[in-house]
Amino acid sequence: MDVISVIRTKRDRGELSPEQIDWVIDAYTRGVVADEQMSALAMAILLNGMNRTEIARWTAAMIASGERMNFDSLTRPTADKHSTGGVGDKITLPLAPLVAACGAAVPQLSGRGLGHTGGTLDKLESIPGWRALLSNEEMLHVLDTTGAVICAAGDGLAPADKKLYALRDVTGTVEAIPLIASSIMSKKIAEGTGSLVLDVKVGSGAFMKNIEDARELARTMVGLGTDSGVKTVALLTDMSTPLGLTAGNALEVRESVEVLAGGGPADVVELTIALAKEMLDAAGIKDADPAKALADGSAMDHWRRMIAAQGGDPDAALPVAREQHVVTASASGVLTRLDAYAVGVGAWRLGAGRARKEDPVQAGAGIELHAKPGDTVTAGQPLMTLHTDTPEKFEYALASLDGSYDVAPAGTAFSATPIVLDRIA
């Protein structure tokens, strides 16, 4: 078998055979298929799609490229969550310790930034000393002693996905539904969690721009999880506006700690609690109250233990960018739109994301918001503050923010979009 014939099959809108899929995933993992060849195949999949049979086989082949974990030794039921990526989406950070405080074990395998969306591992690495890379034994120990762990997938867990994930980020193939579904579900199934809640983002700042594409992705992933014996449910959530008031690594960690301390933006709190309830229900825990666990400090206690167990200092000062630039409102009135994609690209251009898979990210870079849609603003007041260590990036970031918001005359009625749009089970 050769990779050119596999690429041509999908380029010509054919169905990949099980043998072709098994071979190309294995060959790419071993380095027989080059990055540029897999890039061509990924682009063909983006353009021409895959059917349910192909996606299931592609997912199985990625699982088979490595090992599978097992959490049977734990005394708690396991529940995990995955987001398809958004702007300001720091929900994993307060969610994992919150669900642990309510009695479940949360084995949260997370990723790095992908395109204009932030990566959970990049965010947490802004905490001095914190380690994303844990052995399976270390991961199990942290999970057993603190109730939650957030870490990178080990080299042995779906290694095919690890290579393909990084490649998609820099080849314009992030949005391919078959590749998103198989990437997420191969790691989650191989991880061994008993239940899984998916946060499928919808809107300008998401990879799924419309709700029908989001439903297709959600149904695909729920089907893959259910067929593999993992209790799986998906929430479709709004990503037309950034979540919270920050987009950027250390900025989002700081905001997450505010949520764990009982404060933080209302939208972040609302979605964190909604996802916590779904995770606890899927794990069979019926009598816990996530809102109470936020209010009484128990979620914060679990956060501090989890961070410390992975080498981090929960009391250390977070990095702050050396340079700031303030964007002010152009008119007085009601802020009716703040485009999530524009803010995400702006944060990425400031250094919060990467253009190549080997690029570093700036811990302090990003965008801090001072108003959200529905707020009354005055001409000249700060709308957002841009943060970076490299001031030459300001012009490039500001270009992405041009036309990113609308201000309507004072008194204009405003109706906010619900955070949770739909539920797929």
Phi, psi of 174 (to 5 degrees): -60, -35
Catalytic (active site) residue 13: no
Of 39, 182, 183, 228, the catalytic one is: 183
Q: Which residues contact 262 (CB under 8 A, 6 or more apart)?
A: 294, 295, 297
Of 81, 82, 304, 349, the catalytic one is: 82
Of 123, 168, 305, 354, the catalytic one is: 168
Catalytic (active site) residue 277: no
Catalytic (active site) residue 161: yes
Of 123, 187, 188, 304, the catalytic one is: 187
Catalytic (active site) residue 302: no
Catalytic (active site) residue 183: yes
Which residues are annotated as catalytic? 82, 161, 168, 183, 187
